[in-house]
Structure 1
C-alpha cells in the first residue's frame, strides 16, 4: 500500500511539473504563432521584423530565468544555456539584414560554444565523434564548390562548431536505467534538429533553392532551441560538485 501511495504521489508531482513547464512555455508558443501568422516578407527587413523573429528566443531566455527563480538556483548549466540563447537572439536580428549575415554566423557560433560548454566533455565517445566528423566533412565538401570568400572559411568554422556541439549533446545520452536523463535526451534532440535546420539553410543559401525552405528552417530552429532550453528543467548531474573525478 505504501508503494502504491508513493507511486501515486510521484505521478501527481510529475503531472504538476509538466503543467508548470507548459505554462512557462506559453510565451514561447504564443510568439512562435505570431511569427508564422504574420509571416513578414524577407524582402522587407526592419526592426519590427527583427523583433518578431527573435521574440520566441527571448521568450526561451525568459523561460530559463523563470525556472532558475522557481528552483532558487541559477546553475552553471542554465547560465550557459541562457547565454547561448541570448547570442542566438542577436544572431536572429543580424540575419534579417543580408549584409549582416556574417555577423549572424559569428553570433550563432558563440551560441554553439556556450551550448558545448554547458554539455561538457565527458564522456568523450570517440566513435560518435568520428561519425559526426565524417558527416560534417562530407557536408562541407559538398557545399564547398558553391562557396566564395569569406564563406569558404566561415562555413568551415561554423560546421566545426555545430558539429562539436551536437557531438557533446549526443555523447551525454545514456539509455541505461541507472543513468537515464530525459534532460540529456531533450538537449540531444535539440542539437540534432538544430544541425538539420542549419544544413537546410546552407543548402538553400549557397547551393540551390529548397522548397518551402523558410518554414522548414524556422520551424526546426524554434523546435531545436525549445528542446535545448527545456533541458535546464531536468536534474543535471553536470552541476553536482562531486561528479568530477
Structure 2
C-alpha cells in the first residue's frame, strides 16, 4: 500500500510541476508571439527591435535562474543571457562578430553545464557517444569546408575565417556534450541550435539568397532550441528533487 501511495504522490507531483512550468513559460510564448507578429524588417534595426528579439530568451534565462538559483549563471541561465546579448548584436549587421563572440561564450556555458556532475548521472554509453561525436564533427567540418570560399569573399575575411572555425568548434562541442547527457530535450535543443546557426550562416555569407522564409527557419529553430535547453535544465532539477523525496518516503 505504501508503494501505491508513493507512486500516486509522484504522479501528482509530476502533474503539478508540469502545470507550474507551463504557467512559468507563458512569458516566453507571449514574447515569441509578439516577435513573429511584429516581424520587424531587418532593414530597420532599432533598440525596440533588439528588445523584442531578445525578450523570449531573457524570459527563459529568468525562468532557469528562478528554478535553479544563482549558480546557474555559470551554466544554462548564463548561456541564455549571453545568447540574448548575441540577439541584440545581430540586429545591427556591423556587430555580427560581436554577436558571434557572445553566442560562442553561451555555448561554452552550455557545455560546462552539460559536462557537470548534475548531468553526468545519465551519461550515454561510450560507443554511442563516440559515434555521435564522429557524426557531429563530420557535419561541422564538412559545413565549414563548404562555406569557406564564401567566407573568404567577405570584406573582413581575415577575421571571420578563423572566427567561424572556432565558433563551429564550440557549437559542435556543445552538441557533443548534449549527447553525453542522454536527455532527449537537451539533445534535441542542441541539434536545433546547430540547424539554426548553420541556416543563418548560409544566408549571412551569401551561400543562398537571404529571404523572409530563410529568416523564419532560423528564428523558429533558434527559439525552439533555447526552449528545449531551458526546459531540459529545469526538469532535470525537478527530477532529482523528486527522486530524493521518493527515497525518503520508502
In the TM superposition, what is the alpha-carbon distance from 1:131 to its structure 2 partner?
1.8
Residue 2 (structure 1) shift:
4.4
Equivalent pairs, count: 224
Aligned to 1:214: 215
> Could you say which residue in structure 2 is the equivalent of 1:26?
26
Alpha-carbon separation, structure 1, partners of 2:230 and 2:5: 32
Q: 2:89, 2:95 within 8 Å by CA — same for their partners in 1?
A: yes
Aligned residue for 1:99, secondary structure, equals: helix
TM-score (norm 2): 0.83
Q: Determine if the alignment matches structure 1 residue 151 to structure 2 residue 160.
A: yes
The normalised TM-score by structure 1 is 0.85
Mapping of 1:193-208 within 5 angstroms? 193-206=192-205, 207-208=207-208
Residues 175-233 of structure 1: CA distance to partner in whole angstroms, max 9, x if unpaired?
xxxxxxxxx22111100000011111111221112650111111110010011111222
Inter-CA distance 77–188: structure 2 relative to 1 (3 Å threshold): farther
Q: Which has the higher contact order (CA 8 A, sep 6+)?
A: 2
Does the aligned pair in 2 maintain the 1:77–1:232 contact within 8 Å? no
Correspondence list, 1:38-117, <5 A = 38-68=38-68, 74=69, 76=71, 79-117=74-112
Task: State the 1:127 CA deviation.
Answer: 2.9
Note closer, same or farther for the CA distance 1:77–1:86 as it changes in structure 2 (3 Å cut).
closer
1:227-242 aligned within 5 A: 227-235=228-236
Please name the residue that 1:164 is paired with. Answer: 173
CA–CA separation in structure 2 for the residues paired with 1:86 and 1:28: 14
Return the offset for 1:53: 0.3
Between 29-38 and 144-153, report the one with greater CA deviation: 144-153
User: What's the counterpart of residue 176 of structure 1?
Assistant: none
Query: Shift in Å at residue 66 of structure 1?
Result: 2.1
